[in-house]
Structure 1
Amino acid sequence: MTHHVALQFAARTDTGLVRAHNEDAVAVSAGHGIAVLADGMGGYNAGEIASGIATAVVVSELERLLSQTDGAISRTAGGTASRAASGKRLRQWMTDAVLAANQEILETARDEPQYSGMGTTLVAALFRHDRIVLAHLGDSRCYRFRQGELCLLTRDHSLLQEQIDAGLVSPEWARYAPNKNLITRALGVAPQVDVEINDYQIEAGDVYLLCSDGLSDMLTDAQLAGMLADPHVTLDHLGDRLVAAANGNGGRDNISAILVRINAAGAAMARSRWPQLNTWLNKMRAFRVIRPIRATDDRE
């Protein structure tokens, strides 16, 4: 595994209790640290075509770019995977992969008239070294559960979110708003797409949840946090529990989730650098120097 973090994945997708078919799609490339989820839209089953294209193309493009880089590193004497690519390069690769997916959806709709007007949301995660690079459009989300705290890492691209930001709708009432599924960004609707890219530091013990609105609309943050907090449940069982809970609350839409757990290997790597750090600390103590440690944002 070349991304130097030990990852566990579990993916689930379910039609739910109301929809006739499933327009969500999920894809995982565990060996490259990639997870992609999409929620399609469009008549005549076109939504599932759009979401399927989006997940397949993003994974394929990222695998291609990462494999080329890893191959070059392996042929370089003394090269290490930690120098594989800067954060800026990873963000650009994620952007390029999403743009490629958008183009493929547009071309498919042009060549197949029955798919005209199809589109899809997207949330994609790339885990590399000690970072997660996130791309998203629409209202599919990524949550992080860390040390008992649930944090939403994405911001919905939706009319409702714009109303919340403008103070027209309270977050408490937003859960019951009739226009909650009107999105303002998606793949496949225009040649130019404004994909939002962010990256964050990861830590051993983190659990990341990528999900469609069929899950996040059916469960409160407290319910999500409660299930993610169970230290004994396996990711596969947790995925099943999330789907069952969403269906138990109505299952009004397709339900999809990808779970990623950062295992303790990351901490073990950090401990392997302790001898060097300890030597430095001893030198500092010898000079009686004490320096404050500043708290910094985990984004680059």
Structure 2
Amino acid sequence: MPIIECCGKTDVGRVRSNNEDAFFANPEAGYCLVADGMGGAAAGEMASQIFAQSAEVTFGNNRVPAEQALIECVQSTFRLANDRILQHVADHPHHKGMGCTAELLAFGASGFVIGHMGDSRTYRWRQGTLQQLTKDHSLVQDQIDQGLITAEEARSHKMRNVILRAVGVRPSPALDILRGSVLPGDVFLLCSDGLTDLVEDASISEVLRLSTHLNRQAEKLVALANDAGGKDNITVVLAAVLQT
């Protein structure tokens, strides 16, 4: 089983009055997550917290070593959170429209499993190279895939905040599951779009290249987003593989 170290940081940014993001990291149980709430004020914040709480229910405090069982835990977390948010909206109609994007990274005996929904992202830093593992479920990403706009144009596109998938918006949304192996020295970055909308991948790489503690790297990433305007809540979680 990989031995991992995790840390996370969230910040309201420089424009928003409340923080709708949430993160959680449990290195002993081998998982971490980022959720970015939507729906305004208390509703968005509640949606992201429901996702984090659902992961705690599903995973508990024990490692899940087998890959298939790990995949099922990840799927169960998204399903439970989706059902709970939908039920909350049914009970509180004034919260209609609430939901969250979410990244859930879990480690097992054979490597990692990622559950991904929305436009939050998971990256892997390995041997000096940063790789985006997830693909945004967004209108602009679809337009990039179709060759209608470039990635650079997408960064300032007026529809860049239109999300095509999210937790808690409709019954049984499609979930991306990714899996792979891990190496000692791998660092995984989970983040909300408050980071990636304002900070280029090259700048993220420069931070992760620094030989410093994960907490310092997380603080630096948040600072970069705030220095670039801090237009949204900013949340990052770093998970380093110390030993496999």
SS at match of 1:242: helix
SS of the equivalent of 1:45 reads: helix
Alpha-carbon distance in structure 2 between the residues aligned to 1:24 and 1:237: 20
CA distance 1:230–1:130, change in 2 (3 Å): farther
- Distance in 2 between residues matched to 1:252 and 1:54, nearest whole Å: 23
Would you say the 8 A contact 2:18–2:41 is kept in 1? no
Q: Residue 174 in 1 paired to residue 154 in 2?
A: yes
Question: What corresponds to 2:120 in structure 1?
Answer: 140
Deviation at 1:216, TM superposition (A): 0.8
Distance 1:119 1:103 in 2: 11
For the residue of structure 1 that corresponds to 2:97, the secondary structure is: coil
Deviations 1:38-82 (A, max 9, x none): 000113420000011011102321227x56x6xxxxxxxxxxxxx
Aligned positions of 1:86-235 closer than 5 A: 87-231=67-211, 233-235=212-214
Deviation at 1:210, TM superposition (A): 0.1
Shift of 1:113: 2.7
CA contact (8 A) 1:204 1:262 kept: yes
TM-score, length basis structure 1:
0.79
Give the structure 2 partner of residue 10 of structure 1: 7
Question: How far did 1:117 drift?
Answer: 1.8
Match of 1:250 among 222, 229, 233: 229
Number of residues of Structure 1 aligned to a counterpart in Structure 2: 244
Structure-to-structure mapping, 1:25-104, within 5 angstroms: 25-63=22-60, 66=62, 84-85=65-66, 87-104=67-84
> Residue 23 in 1 paired to residue 3 in 2?
no
- Report the residue type matching 1:101 in the other structure: A
Q: Tell me, what secondary structure is at the counterpart of 1:245?
A: helix
Determine if contact 1:44/1:115 at 8 Å carries over to the other structure: no
1:13 Cα deviation (Å)? 0.4
Offset from partner CA, 1:235-274 (integer Å, 9 cap, x none) = 01111111111100110000000001111x22xxxxxxxx
Q: Is the 8 A contact 1:130 1:203 kept in 2?
A: no
More strand by share: 2
Residue type matched to 1:212 in 2? S
Q: Relative to total residues, which structure has the larger helix share, 1 or 2?
A: 1
Secondary structure class of the residue paired with 1:55:
helix
Aligned residue identity for 1:25: A
| Larger gyration radius, structure 1 or structure 2 | 1
- Cα separation, 1, equivalents of 2:237 and 2:105: 10
2:85–2:168: 8 Å Cα contact kept in structure 1? yes
Q: 205-214 or 24-33: which moved more?
A: 24-33
SS of the aligned residue for 1:121 comes to strand
Letter in 2 for 1:234: H
Distance (Å, rounded) in 1 between the aligned partners of 2:180 and 2:68: 13
Partners of 1:34 and 1:88 lie apart in 2 by 15
The alpha carbon displacement at 1:88 in A equals: 2.7
- Secondary structure (helix, strand or coil) at the match of 2:206 reads helix
Shift in Å, 1:36: 1.0
Q: Tell me the distance in 1 between the aligned counterparts of 2:150 and 2:220.
A: 29
Aligned-pair distance for 1:199? Answer: 0.4
C-alpha displacement of 1:109: 1.4
- TM-score, normalised with respect to structure 2: 0.96
Residue 236, structure 1, aligned to residue 215, structure 2: yes
Higher relative contact order (CA 8 A, sep 6+): 2
